[in-house]
Amino acid sequence: MADRVLGGRYQVLDKVGTGGMATVYRGMDQVLGRTVAIKTMLPQYATDPSFAARFKQEAQAAAALNSPYIVSVYDWGKDGDTYYIIMEYLRGTDLKSGIRKHGALDCKKVAQIGSQIAQALSVAHNHDIIHRDIKPQNIMVQPDGNIKVMDFGIARAKNSHLTTDNSVLGTAHYVSPEQTQGKPLGPTTDLYSLGIVMYEAATGRVPFDGDNAVTVAMKQVTEQPVPPSQINPNVDPQLEAIILKCMQKDPKDRFQTADELYHTLHDYLSGRMQAVNNATAMLPATPTTPLSRGNGSTQSLPRTQSTGRMRPQSATEQAAQEEEERQKKQKRNRVLAIVGAIAGIVVVALIIASVLGSGSKAYSVPNLLGLTQDDAQAQLDSDGHGFQIGNVSEQYSPSVEEGKIIEQTPGAGRTATEGSSIDIVVSKGEEPAASVTVPDLTNCTPSEAQDLLNKYGLKGQAGDSVYNADVEVGHVAEQEPAAETSAKAGDTITYHLSQGAEQVSVPNVVGESQSSATSTLQSAGFEVSVTQSSSPSVEKGNVISTNPSAGTSADKGSTVTITVSTGPSSVSVPNVLGYDESSAESALKNAGFGVTVTTEASSTVAKGKVISQSATSATSGSTITIVVSSGSGSSNSGTNNGSNSNGNSSTNNGGTNSGNGEGTNTGSTTSGT
């Protein structure tokens, strides 16, 4: 496979590794000149239509996902019998190898990795794609510490028609209980697997292990994990609570979205521990399957109420705690009994005094909560006890609809005299969020953008990446809403990361007129500059060449220079005056000109010599006319002054030309006889 070129473009260099159904090579994109990863399907699967369909699906699914934390897919295709996918080439090591080498990671690093994976899953889940194989082997840790989620080889969109069995496609150590049981899968199955990844990163080992995949998978369904802090005492209670919530057996008890998990991890990293406690407070009180301690197996453990964290207690600690709680309860009950008795006496005394003093009857106050003011008054009127609405005030309520009663005094069930007033508090609805000014995220990295938005009480999400030549790749290039506009606290700001300048192929405009070529290039997104040059072969005003040349890729918006012909250029014609005819012809032809010859009598230029030429400069390849002397036309002793060369006399117009050339020619001799 090495040195093979796939698709006429991607050169295979060396093998990086082999997985269950594919081999990955380092390669070179010969068009863009960049290093890529080339994933090829193993030969034994290439002829299987279901595997080929899954391989194609991986490329299409992953190509649709755009996140700084997901490996980018550039291209895919088939070359002969070889299916291939072209991906971003990553430098670094997978998380599994990192854990094996370094052991348990720092809590903050675990949360940071979990946060980035959650952001990647949020993008996938928003595209209705469930990864289904989240494990540390598929998490690449890059040299800068950030991660990339890889391998959507068994990822599947919800609307996919593939019928591959769900049951154990992922690695057994990381599959969710519902995945093991072949149940329908949702986004929470990825969050379960992510919980196990964070568990392993925090403790250095997986929560469930066994002799074979079936044993491990069954433990995922039936057993509870040992709390991470029992394996690694340095694990924070809040991080432990987050991990254990992810790993709840019932999907309804986990975080419901990757975005929810991301924000909880972000709260943890920002030190907002109360927010973390609130987000993880719904854990069940105890694990369902008690097991013995000390052998690394799972067990039943009590849970602290404040954080939802499950921690071990000794029998002594438990007994002491129970005794302390019992004493506190007894003391509290005594105090409550005394207070209740005093309150009861006061209430009874007031009722008796009121009844005796006014002679009015006392009635139970009806429940007005949840009614509108008008409906409440109507109910009071229908009761016939003369109760009336008293003071009316308003306040915001996050749970009660606007216009409905949220409080009343006296409260429902209390006793009041006939005709008493009942004060009510009416809901104004949910309190409007504070108005904030949207910050400018331009040139921020994703983490910088999230931190900046958090300061303003806003949420952030990554949208589709965009081309932008002015912003570094991977940094924010655009955002909605725009910077400096108003938004409400809690609103979501969508930001788009730069892909750099868009690459466009330069159109072929050679031979076109200047105006036509300019229009074509501008339509393709280029600026145009013009230079001129002569050309013997290209018509004046037409394009001779472009820079960059046609077919090469260039940044959209960059300048293409076109060279326009000014027509053939003039060159000097050799001076052949005085040359004999053959020498003159030779000199002109060697200079690139054509030659025509005419003769003319000359009394000053010897016969056979050039008298004149038609030009001293001309375009290369043009024809030059030379005039060659045919000799003198006047009488000269010893000279043939006629055009008759055979020595015979001839007479024209009374002129006599003696045969020996000594006669006088007064006319025009055209032939001799």
List of residues 6+ apart from 556 with CB closer than 8 A: 467, 469, 501, 502, 503, 504, 525, 526
CA dist list (Å): 376 to 120, 233, 417:
51, 58, 18
Token pair of 256 as six digits:
């419901």
Token pair of 223 as six digits:
């057993």
Question: pLDDT of 250-276, one tens digit each?
Answer: 999 999 999 999 999 999 999 999 989
Q: Residue 135 half-sphere exposure, CB side, CA atoms within 13 Å?
A: 21
Higher pLDDT, 364 or 109: 109
What is the pLDDT, as a whole number, of residue 212?
87
The per-residue b/e assignment along 60-74, b for 16 or more CB within 10 angstroms, e otherwise, is ebbbbbbbbbbbbbb
What whole-number distance in Å separates Cα of residue 473 and Cα of residue 370? 55
Higher pLDDT, 44 or 105: 105
Above 70 in pLDDT, residue 215? yes
Q: Where are the domains of the chain?
A: 8-88, 93-279, 345-427, 435-497, 503-565, 570-629
Q: What average pLDDT score do residues 51-72 get?
A: 79
Report the DSSP pairing between strands 388-395 and 421-427. Answer: parallel
What is the pLDDT, as a whole number, of residue 298?
39
CA dist list (Å): 135 to 53, 139, 247:
23, 7, 14
Q: Which of 156-170, 429-443, 597-611 has the lowest mean pLDDT?
A: 156-170
Nearest to 30 by CA among 6, 14, 11: 11
Bridge partners of 5, per DSSP, are: 11
Pick left, alpha or beta for residue 382 (phi over 0 → left; psi -120 to 50 → alpha; otherwise beta). alpha
Token pair of 111 as six digits:
């949360």
What whole-number distance in Å separates Cα of residue 476 and Cα of residue 446? 7
What whole-number distance in Å separates Cα of residue 394 and Cα of residue 426? 5
What whole-number distance in Å separates Cα of residue 145 and Cα of residue 105? 13
The helix-helix angle for 95-102 and 187-203 (nearest 10°) equals 20
Superfamily the domain 8-88 falls into: Phosphorylase Kinase; domain 1 (3.30.200.20)
Token pair of 636 as six digits:
């000269």
pLDDT interval class at 479 (50, 70, 90) = very high
CA dist list (Å): 213 to 169, 314, 450, 466:
11, 34, 39, 43
Residue 632 CA from chain centroid, whole number: 92
Question: pLDDT of 611-656, one tens digit each?
Answer: 999 999 888 788 999 999 998 864 333 333 333 333 333 333 333 3
What is the pLDDT, as a whole number, of residue 338?
55
What whole-number distance in Å separates Cα of residue 57 and Cα of residue 49? 12
Contact at 8 Å (CB) between 277 and 306? yes
Above 80 in pLDDT, residue 296? no
Report the DSSP pairing between strands 421-427 and 553-555. Answer: unpaired
Architecture of domain 570-629: 2-Layer Sandwich (3.30)
CA dist list (Å): 620 to 535, 572, 579, 597:
10, 9, 21, 19
Is position 96 annotated in a ligand binding site?
A: no
Q: What average pLDDT score do residues 76-100 get?
A: 89
Question: pLDDT of 494-503, one tens digit each?
Answer: 999 998 888 8
Token pair of 262 as six digits:
């991301």
- DSSP assignment of 481-497 equals SPTT-EEETTPEEEEEE
pLDDT interval class at 54 (50, 70, 90) = confident
What is the pLDDT, as a whole number, of residue 353?
46
What is the pLDDT, as a whole number, of residue 65?
84
435-497 matches 345-427 in CATH topology: yes
SS (H, E, C) 513-567: EHHHHHHHHHHCCCEEEEEEECCCCCCCCEEEEEECCCCCEEECCCEEEEEEECC
Amino acid (one-letter) located at 241: A
Question: pLDDT of 313-367, one tens digit each?
Answer: 433 344 445 556 655 666 666 655 555 555 555 444 444 444 444 455 778 888 9
What whole-number distance in Å separates Cα of residue 153 and Cα of residue 55? 7
Helix (H, G, I), strand (E, B) or coil at 602: coil
Report the DSSP pairing between strands 486-488 and 362-364. Answer: unpaired
Q: What average pLDDT score do residues 278-290 get?
A: 57
Q: Match 């595209």 to its residue by tokens.
A: 127
What is the pLDDT, as a whole number, of residue 644?
35
- What is the dotted CATH code of the domain comprising 345-427? 3.30.10.20
Residue 485 CA from chain centroid, whole number: 25
CA dist list (Å): 557 to 500, 525, 529:
12, 5, 12
CA dist list (Å): 500 to 25, 53, 78:
26, 32, 28
What is the pLDDT, as a whole number, of residue 595?
95
Sheet holding 421-427, edge to edge: 388-395, 421-427, 405-409
Contact at 8 Å (CB) between 118 and 258? yes
Backbone angles phi, psi at 162, to 5 degrees: -65, 145
For 359, other C-beta atoms within 10 Å of its C-beta total 8
What whole-number distance in Å separates Cα of residue 182 and Cα of residue 333? 52
∠ CA(195), CA(197), CA(202), 5° rounding? 95
pLDDT interval class at 46 (50, 70, 90) = confident
Residue 236 CB-density burial (10 A; 0-12 exposed, 13-18 middle, 19+ buried): buried
Contact at 8 Å (CB) between 177 and 217? no
Q: What average pLDDT score do residues 226-243 get?
A: 95
What whole-number distance in Å separates Cα of residue 411 and Cα of residue 625? 124
Share of the chain above pLDDT 70, in %: 79
What is the pLDDT, as a whole number, of residue 129?
87
pLDDT interval class at 416 (50, 70, 90) = confident
Helix (H, G, I), strand (E, B) or coil at 380: helix
Above 80 in pLDDT, residue 310? no
Share of the chain above pLDDT 90, in %: 44
Architecture of domain 93-279: Orthogonal Bundle (1.10)
Which are the catalytic amino acids?
Answer: 133
What is the pLDDT, as a whole number, of residue 157?
41
pLDDT interval class at 549 (50, 70, 90) = very high
Architecture of domain 435-497: 2-Layer Sandwich (3.30)
Size of the chain in residues = 673
Token pair of 411 as six digits:
């409260």
Above 60 in pLDDT, residue 665? no
CA dihedral (418, 419, 425, 426) in degrees, to 10, reads 110
Q: Most confidently modeled of 234-238, 309-313, 399-403, 457-461? A: 234-238
Mean pLDDT of the chain: 80
Task: Find the DSSP H helices in 408-507.
Answer: 446-455
**Cis-peptide, bond into residue 43, ω within 30° of zero:** no
Q: Most confidently modeled of 53-67, 557-571, 654-668? A: 557-571
Bridge partners of 34, per DSSP, are: 29
Nearest to 515 by CA among 503, 528, 526: 528
Architecture of domain 503-565: 2-Layer Sandwich (3.30)
Bridge partners of 612, per DSSP, are: 627
